[in-house]
Amino acid sequence: MATIEDFEILDIRVGTIVDVQPFPKARKPAFRLAIDFGVELGIKKSSAQITVHYTAEQLLGRQVVAVVNFPPRQIGPFISEVLTLGVPDAAGEVVLLAPGHAVPNGGRMF
């Protein structure tokens, strides 16, 4: 069982996708995202295997939720700085987690 202290270690924030690029060098189809987490954190990069449900056009300007305090992770030639969060649909494909209403970038989940 996790404790509330375990949960409090994670820094989960909302940000807005400001750039989307294809990531042809990824093993599975993916996008390279630039996500704006506001003044405190700025723009961070993430790789996401979300090409089944989303196009680049649909992602641009969309708010997402991400873990921002994991160490950077090398994904092929790309450094992913945050983990963009999603849940699987019935077929196991990623559906992004997002706030139900527009909120300020950088807001921390609690």
24-74 per-position pLDDT tens digit: 888 888 999 999 999 999 999 999 999 999 999 999 999 999 999 999 999
The answer to the question of residue 103 being in a domain is no
**Which tokens hold the place of 30?**
């993916």
Q: What is the mean pLDDT of residues 83-109?
A: 97
pTM for the full predicted model: 0.95
The answer to the question of residue 25 being in a domain is yes
Please give the tally of structural domains in the chain: 1
The answer to the question of residue 61 being in a domain is yes
60 CB neighbour count, 10 Å cutoff = 14
Q: Among residues of the chain, what percentage have pLDDT more than 90?
A: 93
The answer to the question of residue 21 being in a domain is yes
The answer to the question of residue 20 being in a domain is yes
The answer to the question of residue 82 being in a domain is yes
pLDDT score for 13 = 98
The answer to the question of residue 89 being in a domain is yes
Strands (DSSP E) contained in the chain are: 12-22, 31-36, 43-48, 63-67, 73-75, 78-80, 83-84, 86-88, 94-96
pLDDT score for 26 = 84
Nearest to 12 by CA among 97, 92, 75: 97
The answer to the question of residue 108 being in a domain is no
Q: What is the extent of the structural domain holding 76?
A: 11-96
